[in-house]
Amino acid sequence: MTIQVADPGTNAPKAYVLEFGFNKTWVNAQSRATLDQLLRGWKCRYANIWLFGHTDTVGHEDPNVDLSAQRAAAVRDYLVGAGVVPRRVGIIAKGENSPLVATANNVHLRSNRAVVVLVQE
């Protein structure tokens, strides 16, 4: 018996950025569409998926680390619910200490309220 698996090809993305609303942890429709694209290319491949949670600089550091972990966990839950093996998905909560876009403190910036998804072959 032979099982054919579609090859993601050399140009399949290995990094994805999912943005979140202010103080939100749910995966919105646009992020679900992005995750579905990831699943089509990588679900049946031997790869690890790393989720790096981020927040903007509004609020205090400790709650922001928790919020970034909750965002990454929501993405993990979506991936696992779609069939990704849980041990293949890792979470790293960055909070506000590693912004995607540099800003001053207390700046609302959606680009920093994100989970970066990296696929590691």
Burial of 44 (0-12, 13-18, 19+ CB in 10 A): middle
Q: What is the mean pLDDT of residues 69-77?
A: 98
Residue 16: φ, ψ to 5° = -140, 145
Going along the chain from its start, the domains and CATH numbers come out as 15-120 (3.30.1330.60)
The reported pTM is 0.88
Say what the pLDDT of residue 46 is. Answer: 86
Evaluate if residue 2 carries a pLDDT over 70: no
Q: What is the mean pLDDT of residues 74-83?
A: 97
Q: Mean pLDDT in the chain? A: 91
Say what the pLDDT of residue 1 is. Answer: 58
pLDDT digits (tens, 9 = 90+) for 5-31: 555 555 567 999 999 999 999 999 999
pLDDT digits (tens, 9 = 90+) for 94-119: 999 999 999 999 999 999 999 999 99
Residue 7: φ, ψ to 5° = -80, 130
